[in-house]
Amino acid sequence: MTIEAIRTVDAPAALGSYSQGTSVAGWVFTSGQIPLTPAGELIDDCAANAARQALDNISVILETAGASMADVVKVTLYLRDLADFPAVNDVYAEYFLGVLPARSCVAVSRLPRDALLEIDAVARRTQ
């Protein structure tokens, strides 16, 4: 079983010693995505825009690995402020239709670059 690193210039580069994602035996694991544009600009004007950027990053990483948002089976949301949950949930609903992935949401005291949120996903390629 070979683990493959997922790399794309269409999502922000890793901020440390990790891959944007990995793939093994048809499974795709994204690293946590904070709301950085591919150019490295932090989106922190509001939780909805932050969630949209993080989910766009996840979508691109999955596509690079041959998967899509429809293949996601598990998502974890890390929110700096649980008061942002309704806004994040509204944006989240735009990205996941049909059978919804399992999901966890936790409040955290701090995230890299003092981001408002971080999101990671696990997908199973159907192809």
| 111 residue type, one letter | L
* pLDDT, tens digit (0-9, with 9 covering 90-100), for 70-122: 999 999 999 999 999 999 999 999 999 999 999 999 999 999 999 999 999 99
Whether the per-residue pLDDT at 127 is higher than 80: the answer is no
pTM of the predicted structure, to 2 decimals: 0.97
Q: Which two three-digit tokens encode residue 63?
A: 């596509």
Q: What per-residue confidence (pLDDT) applies to 79?
A: 98
Closest CA to 61 of 100, 126, 119, 1: 119
- Give the integer Cα–Cα distance in Å for 41 and 47: 15
User: Domain extents for the chain?
Assistant: 4-124
CATH code that applies to domain 4-124: 3.30.1330.40
Catalytic residues: 105
Whether the per-residue pLDDT at 126 is higher than 90: the answer is no
**Do the bridges between strand 27-30 and strand 117-124 make them parallel or antiparallel, or are there none, so unpaired?**
antiparallel
Contact predicate 72/101, CB 8 Å: yes
